[in-house]
Amino acid sequence: MNDLETSWHDTWHALRLPLPAGVLPSLLARWAEPHRRYHTLQHLRECLALFAAHRELAERPGEVAVALWFHDAVYDTARHDNEAVSADWAERVLRDAGAAREVAERVVALVLATRHGQGPATPDERLLVDIDLAILGAAPARFDEYERQIRDEYGFVPEDVFRDRRAAILRGFLERPAIFATAALAARFEAAARVNLAGAIARLD
């Protein structure tokens, strides 16, 4: 098995649920859609690798892992409900596999937390959101690549409009009292994220 297949099998083992038939190929096909530039298998692998390094922080590791698999499973730059549709898909797969209702509900909440609107409410939500945001504190070369990938995903947006909207999004993160909510990930990424964000905003402005 390759790394993603191993992670997928480990996720369902942690959930103590049978491996759902036919779901992995569909998920991988979604993550590999040609219109994606950042929200790709690269991002999924980065998230799963970071989770593996901090798995001990999770209260329910299997739920965090499956939420990572589904958090950008549906990604269409023309719509605003990607997280909700992804969460619905995760819920259906979990319920079909025999997951308890409360398990499915927690995973739905985890996926929805990646909308980055309100602050995450539980330790597992905080961990998952921090993993999703870790790209903000990436090494400069990777962060610059990430910014180019986001611009490519929104290539249909006029340059001046993109610059204004992107700067507003990044400024929203920079103006938070803390970007990261878990101590371990804050120690690793907070300072670098603030440097990266300030530089990106300056270039956009």
Give pLDDT < 50 ranges for the chain.
none
Q: Helix (H, G, I), strand (E, B), or coil: what is residue 49?
A: helix
Would you kindly state where each structural domain of the chain is located, as residue ranges? 3-204
Q: 128-172, pLDDT tens digit by residue?
A: 999 999 999 999 999 999 999 999 999 999 999 999 999 999 999
Using alpha carbons, list the distances in angstroms from residue 38 to 33, 70, 120, 142, 189: 11, 15, 23, 11, 19
pLDDT at 119 (0 to 100): 80
pLDDT number for residue 118: 78
* Predicted pLDDT of residue 117: 78
Q: What CATH number is given for 3-204 in this structure?
A: 1.10.1300.10
Residues in Cβ contact with 156 at an 8 Å cutoff, skipping those fewer than 6 apart: 77
pLDDT score of 41: 97
How far does CA 145 lie from the centroid of its chain? 17
Task: Give the pTM.
Answer: 0.96
Determine the pLDDT at residue 1. 60
d(CA 65, CA 62): 5
